[in-house]
Amino acid sequence: MIRPTSCDKHTISVLKLQKRAARVILDANRQANSVTLFNKLNWIPFSEQAKLTKCCIIYKRLQGHVPTYLKSLLKLTSEIHSRQTRYANFNIVRPVVKRQTEGGRTFTVTACQAWNSFPLSVRKLPTIKSFSNSLWKRIFKEQQLLNHFIL
Residue-by-residue pLDDT tens, the chain, 151 positions: 444 444 556 677 888 999 999 999 999 999 999 999 999 999 999 889 989 999 999 899 888 888 888 877 776 655 555 555 555 566 666 666 766 666 677 888 888 888 888 888 888 899 999 999 999 999 999 998 888 776 6
As for how many domains the chain has, the answer is 1
Q: Is residue 85 part of a domain?
A: yes
Q: Is residue 2 part of a domain?
A: no
For 98, the domain range is 8-144
What pTM was estimated for this model as a whole?
Answer: 0.76
Mapped to the 3 state alphabet, what secondary structure does the chain carry? CCCCCCCHHHHHHHHHHHHHHHHHHHCCCCCCCHHHHHHHHCCCCHHHHHHHHHHHHHHHHHHCCCCHHHHHHCCEHHHHCCCCCCCCCCCECCCCCCCHHHCCCCHHHHHHHHHHHCCHHHHCCCCHHHHHHHHHHHHHHHHHCCCCCCC
